Amino acid sequence: MSKAASSTPAVIPPDSRGVRSLAFKAMGTACVIQFRCEDQKAALKFLAEALGWLGEFEAKFSRFRPDSLLSQINQAAGQRWVEIDAEMEQMLDMGEAMHRLTEGLLDPAMLPLIQLWDWKKVHERLPLEAEVQKALTLSNWKEVERKPGKIYLPRTGMGLDFGGFGKEHAVDQVIAIARRHGIVDILVDLGRDILALGGNGQHPFWHVGIQDGVQTDRCIGGLAVSGYAVCASGDYARRFEHGGVRYGHILDRRTGWPVRHGLRAVTVVAPTSLIAGIYSTCVFVLGRKEGLQFAESAPGVEACLQGEQGVTATRHFRQYQVQSA
């Protein structure tokens, strides 16, 4: 975690609406917490706990930290069992639930495939099909072995990645911390994974923009959100280009290749950030027809799909829309 997130500022004055705002970096992304709290000491006490929790979470579950517990599990692949604590058990249970809900489309053991298609690298050539198939065989949650307090990745080269749900879980936990501190008006934004409670001091809700998946410097509209999360998935931000073709960071477990079926972005509104994040990614992978059906089958989940064929939304998505963000 960066220095911006490791310590709490001495003073965060409220704006004209009574909203205090803190921008910082965590988990490799830009984050913002906005909330209303009249008492300065109470506000700082909440932020200290929230930022402290985020720092500990990142230190334990980031695969980019070589000393994290997740990295220890990955480094021991094919060699030995690794002892884990209750918090890691919880994360693994969430990964298992995500895997079941999406029928294996989202897999917490997809690290070999993710590394093969690393969007941050310069790709002088695309991976060979043999390389894709090898990574696919190693990217299999069903092969992960678990015992109470222990985990084992049985083959060298296997690895876990919590990128599909870790940040979303963190959003929900920061909101839970806010509730314990008696804060009722708050918006938590961790890299555009958002959950909002109450209102912004001017309205009994918060405004959240829907980023345009094609012209990414603008929004196609806005949402009025209170008591709900908003998460977006797409190939407009994290991607690389090769031979004039765009390859995004979201991979299709069925093919081993980046998703390429005409969708550019999916925005989901759901009761929790964890649910919103899982559904936005899964809908994006499934594509317009199947993705829309998948979203409409879930109670409390609404989705907006942007792509080459225009914008499509579930039946009740419009109830959250406002004229502008």
Binding residue ranges:
164, 281
Q: 19 near 35, Cβ under 8 Å?
A: yes
Residue 219: Cβ-neighbour burial (10 angstroms; 0-12, 13-18, 19+)? middle
Say how many C-beta atoms besides its own lie within 10 A of residue 158's C-beta.
Answer: 23
**Vertex 57 angle, CA 73 and 206, to 5°:** 135
What whole-number distance in Å separates Cα of residue 216 and Cα of residue 90? 35
The DSSP annotation for 172-191 comes to HHHHHHHHHTT--SEEEEET
Binding site residue list for Mg(2+):
164, 281
DSSP assignment, residue 179? H
Task: Give the residue among 234, 238, 244, 253 at the shortest CA–CA distance from 132.
Answer: 253
What whole-number distance in Å separates Cα of residue 48 and Cα of residue 189? 17
Point out which residues pair with 313 in neighbouring strands: 304
3 state SS of 108: coil
Unique residue bearing structure tokens 């390389």: 131
Residue 137: Cβ-neighbour burial (10 angstroms; 0-12, 13-18, 19+)? middle
